[in-house]
Amino acid sequence: MGFFWEGLPPYLLPWSSQSLIEPRAAVETGTFRGDTTTLLANTFGSCTSIERSHELAAKAQGKFRGDPRIEILEGSSRELLAQAIPSREKSAFFWLDAHGIYDFDGTEAEENPLLAEIDMVIAARDSSNTIIAIDDARGMGTQPDWPAMSEIAIPLGNAGYTTVYLDDIFLAVPQRLKTDLPKLYQESRMVEATAVFHIWPRVLRAFKSQARLDSLVEKLPKSLRR
Ligand SMILES: C[S@@+](CC[C@H](N)C(=O)[O-])C[C@H]1O[C@@H](n2cnc3c(N)ncnc32)[C@H](O)[C@@H]1O
């Protein structure tokens, strides 16, 4: 979840699809309700998504029955990701999201498969035609069971990726795209500026009514306020 986006920031999709030559495919870990699964299939032509929860996987399988672009695999990404990774000839976009962000309320029993996922992608893919986006990157090294950012960035750097952090997403892209990253940053700011301006009138209205409320409370006799 970023400052303005819950999940995958929309500006990342056109930038990534323009950067990866066809044929392309997407892989998602953590299907949840399948909202991003649809976006990924629309952008990259197909999406294989892995969901550990039986209930959520069954719902998503029902939702996407009849859509040949989408495959939902039930089980942990630790066991299933290797078989979902597209062959090296195809460009691939990975959305690694099989984890929660707990803000310290989570339990140690929650597993975070991120390091295993990264190992599998590095082993099976060439960095020249692969983009990896990891959600909730603020949790890296700060949340229970999350690896530190360096534990993710170092092996990816050794495998030929350039890694950056943008809008709570940890992004690993082919080194040839390093010079295009400022353009991605600019696009992210443009969208966010629009998002702020869009909600600004509501923020202002809320602020005004809060000020009125505060002045009303201030006028109440002290005995009533207690
Ligand atoms: C934050 S949600 C995913 C949101 C979804 N990707 C989206 O963008 O709308 C996390 C999901 O990962 C699933 N999950 C957790 N651990 C998993 C694992 N090891 N393998 C596969 N799915 C997992 C959870 O059941 C939950 O549905």
Question: pLDDT tens-digit profile of 72-110?
Answer: 999 999 999 999 999 999 999 999 999 877 655 555 556
My answer on whether 216 and 126 are in the same domain is: no
| CA 63 / ligand 1 centre spacing (Å) | 16
Pairing state of beta strands 70-74 and 91-96?
unpaired
| CA 78 / ligand 1 centre spacing (Å) | 12
Residue 1: inside a domain:
no
My answer on whether 108 and 44 are in the same domain is: yes
Ligand 1 contact via 36 beta carbon (within 6 Å): yes
Residue 6: inside a domain:
no
pLDDT band at 111 (very low <50, low <70, confident <90, very high): confident
Which tens digit of pLDDT belongs to each residue from 7-37?
A: 899 999 999 999 999 999 999 999 999 999 9
Is the pLDDT at 226 greater than 50? The verdict is no
Residue 198: inside a domain:
yes
pLDDT band at 192 (very low <50, low <70, confident <90, very high): low
Both tokens of 167, joined, read 């809008």
**Which secondary-structure segment (H or E) carries 28?**
strand 24-29
Ligand 1 contact via 84 beta carbon (within 6 Å): no
Pairing state of beta strands 161-166 and 169-174?
antiparallel
Ligand 1 contact via 52 beta carbon (within 6 Å): yes
Provide the mean pLDDT of the chain: 88
Q: Averaged over 61-79, what is the pLDDT?
A: 97
Residue 110: inside a domain:
yes
Ligand 1 contact via 174 beta carbon (within 6 Å): no
Q: Which residues contact 18 (CB under 8 A, 6 or more apart)?
A: none
My answer on whether 90 and 123 are in the same domain is: yes
Residue 27: inside a domain:
yes
Residue 7: inside a domain:
no
CA distance 157 to 174: 10
My answer on whether 48 and 106 are in the same domain is: yes
* DSSP state letter for 154: H
pTM, rounded to two decimals: 0.85
My answer on whether 208 and 126 are in the same domain is: no
What domain count does the chain have?
A: 2
Residue of 28, 42, 56, 99 to mutate, ligand 1, most atoms within 8 A of C-beta? 99
Q: Is the dihedral of CA 74, 79, 81, 86 positive or negative?
A: negative
Note down the domain range covering 205: 187-225
Ligand 1 contact via 106 beta carbon (within 6 Å): no
